[in-house]
């Protein structure tokens, strides 16, 4: 009977150890705060986001966010990450929704950019 109790106790401790190791290996930030917008770089077509402890950043157009269809990226090493918005149409104002692992959403309205036309002489 003592051997059985000892085996059950050891199996229980092993189970706790496995659970703890699986939580550590997930790369999930448990102390993450909402992401914040650092700046919008229109020249390089990037949104600079402050990571605030998030290991993943989610972003979508406003329409995609309403359908819960998010693009996911791993946060860059360091304090900030860059989201490329070159795929967004520059001919109309667009709103991007960005969130971290806590789910708090931030909105960035990308202004319409005027395309410069070069003069061509014949």
Per-residue pLDDT of 66-117, as tens digits, reads 999 999 999 998 999 999 999 888 888 999 999 999 999 999 999 987 665 5
Write the pLDDT tens digit of every residue in 86-100: 988 888 899 999 999
Contact 52, 36 (CB under 8 A): yes
Beta strand spans in 36-86 (E): 36-41, 46-50, 56-61, 71-74, 80-84
Distance CA 108, CA 40 (A): 8
Q: 36-110 belongs to which CATH class?
A: mainly beta
- For 29, other C-beta atoms within 10 Å of its C-beta total 17
Q: What is the pTM of this model?
A: 0.68
């Amino acid at each position: 009977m003592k051997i059985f109790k000892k085996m059950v106790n050891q199996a229980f401790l092993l189970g706790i150890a496995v659970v703890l190791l699986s939580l550590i290996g997930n790369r999930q930030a448990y102390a993450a705060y909402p992401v914040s917008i650092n700046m919008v770089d229109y020249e390089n077509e990037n949104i600079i986001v402050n990571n605030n402890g998030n290991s993943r950043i989610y972003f979508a157009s406003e329409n995609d966010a309403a359908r819960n269809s998010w693009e996911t990226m791993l946060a860059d090493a360091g304090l900030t990450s860059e989201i490329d918005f070159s795929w967004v149409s520059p001919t109309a104002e667009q709103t991007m929704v960005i969130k971290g692992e806590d789910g708090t959403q931030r909105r960035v309205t990308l202004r319409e950019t005027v395309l410069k036309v070069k003069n061509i002489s014949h």
